[in-house]
Amino acid sequence: MPTRTSSDVIVVGAGMVGAACAYYAGLAGLSVTVVDRGAVAGGTTGAGEGNLLVSDKEPGPELELALLSARLWRELAKSLPPRIEYETKGGLVVASGPAGMAALRDFAAGQERAGVEAHEITPDRLTDLEPHLAPDLAGGFHYPQDAQVQPALAAAHLLRASDAQVRLGAEVTSLLAGPDGRVTGVRTATGVLHAPHVVNAAGVWGGELARRAGSDLPVLPRRGFVLVTEPLPRVVRHKVYAADYVADVANGSAALQTSAVVEGTAAGPVLIGASRERVGFDRGLSTEVLRRLAAQATALFPVLAGVRAIRTYAGFRPYLPDHLPAIGPDPHVPGLLHACGHEGAGIGLAPATGLLVAQLLTGEQPHMDIGPFHPRRFEASRGTRSGPHLS
């Protein structure tokens, strides 16, 4: 079958965010081509845990995006195959002492005012939710809206449902433009593709793609490791993490940070995270990180001390300095839209991002204010532009 070389929109990136952009653009009646230099879910998506969280987000734009996405994920779970392993298992955030519990209580109160469901769990009731938790915790909060998917499978099925034409192994080397500077397509290592709109869903490479378009987006990679245990009976029922995880998510430091995040999966293995550090694209194994993760996980779940870790993997979160994704039109390149920089929340925030991008593409009123996510917010730190680099 011949493949088309023109479409209404080209999405650069075949991860979860790119798949969601393609899906909702297709629903809006647009013809879509998805381009990726690697495989489907070959970057951050494939290295993720599949978390769909509201529990770790303070009131504000990102939480609004997460709540919209949570609703959309529930809808998607009804139409996508069960193999995506969508589970509404909920999250449990625990505190080790009274001060941590007081901070969690204040945090949850603000979230509840913003529409999040949060239930305080007293120390004597923690084992009702998680029988294998350490016995000396001060309490916690249960978040029933937290969920999980198998990210690579979910992205693949979302792409399939989009009816997009998918071009893999085709790195975008530059963007094409007409005499007025408006985007007309992309040049790849395997040929030229035409479209009046290009969506930058390139994840940690989103900043590089913006530069190839003659623009700028300060996306940086933030490395994280995950430990994977041997398959177990359902030892961990929820996503369970310590209170300091929320602070680590919001911390912009380049230094290593680790905080216990433990969750079971439908397939049996327990996933243990989370670490954050800015070390460029260095994939080198860090035994110090793995040691910290294992120690923190067994402090929460002593039963894991006798469990084998069968593998570990690293991934890179697409980090932006203010911890909000870039969603919206590029301020300097007409026809280029950005949908990247979600850091570790891209799986959860993907549906709302895709819906907003599709609404911007079709001129429909967006479901929520995109102002806080607009790429122009980085203009003050750009300095003087040297002009477009389109070909």
Model pLDDT for residues 38-84, shown as the tens digit of each residue = 999 999 999 988 999 999 999 999 999 999 999 999 999 999 999 89
Does the pLDDT value for residue 26 go beyond 60? yes
Fold of domain 9-47+152-218+323-381: FAD/NAD(P)-binding domain (3.50.50)
pLDDT 10s digits, 333-357: 999 999 999 999 999 999 999 999 9
Q: Are 151 and 50 in contact (CB under 8 A)?
A: yes
Residue 107 phi, psi dihedral angles, 5° rounding: -60, -45
Residue 245 binned pLDDT confidence (cut-offs 50, 70, 90): low
Q: How many CA atoms lie within 13 A of 208 on its CB side?
A: 12
Does the pLDDT value for residue 388 go beyond 70? no
Q: Distance between CA 231 and CA 324 in Å, rounded?
A: 35
Q: Distance between CA 126 and CA 129 in Å, rounded?
A: 6
Residue 25 phi, psi dihedral angles, 5° rounding: -65, -40
Domain assignments of the chain as residue spans, ordered by start: 9-47+152-218+323-381, 91-144+220-319
Q: Distance between CA 6 and CA 27 in Å, rounded?
A: 18
Does the pLDDT value for residue 381 go beyond 80? no
Q: What is the pLDDT of residue 83?
A: 87
**Pairing between β-strand 309-319 and β-strand 239-242 as defined by DSSP bridges:** unpaired
Q: Are 295 and 289 in contact (CB under 8 A)?
A: no
Q: What is the pLDDT of residue 259?
A: 84
Percent of the chain having pLDDT more than 70? 93
Q: What is the pLDDT of residue 2?
A: 47
Residue 273 binned pLDDT confidence (cut-offs 50, 70, 90): confident
Q: What is the pLDDT of residue 385?
A: 44
Q: What is the pLDDT of residue 260?
A: 84
pLDDT 10s digits, 142-161: 999 999 999 999 999 999 99
Q: What is the pLDDT of residue 249?
A: 55
Does the pLDDT value for residue 384 go beyond 70? no
Reference 192, options 175, 168, 213; nearest CA is 175
Reference 34, options 200, 216, 219; nearest CA is 200
Residue 380 binned pLDDT confidence (cut-offs 50, 70, 90): low
Percent of the chain having pLDDT more than 90? 83
Reading the block at residue 84, the tokens are 């995506």
Q: Helix, strand, or coil here: 147?
A: strand
Q: Are 61 and 200 in contact (CB under 8 A)?
A: no
SS (H, E, C) 24-90: HHHHCCCCEEEEECCCCCCCCHHHCCCEECCCCCCCCHHHHHHHHHHHHHHHHHHHCCHHHCCECCC
Q: What is the pLDDT of residue 355?
A: 98
Identify the residue with better confidence: 2 or 333.
Answer: 333
Does the pLDDT value for residue 360 go beyond 60? yes
pLDDT 10s digits, 81-110: 998 999 999 999 999 999 999 999 999 999
Burial class (CB in 10 A: 0-12, 13-18, 19+), 2: exposed
- The CATH class, in words, for 91-144+220-319 is alpha beta
Reference 116, options 50, 65, 51; nearest CA is 65
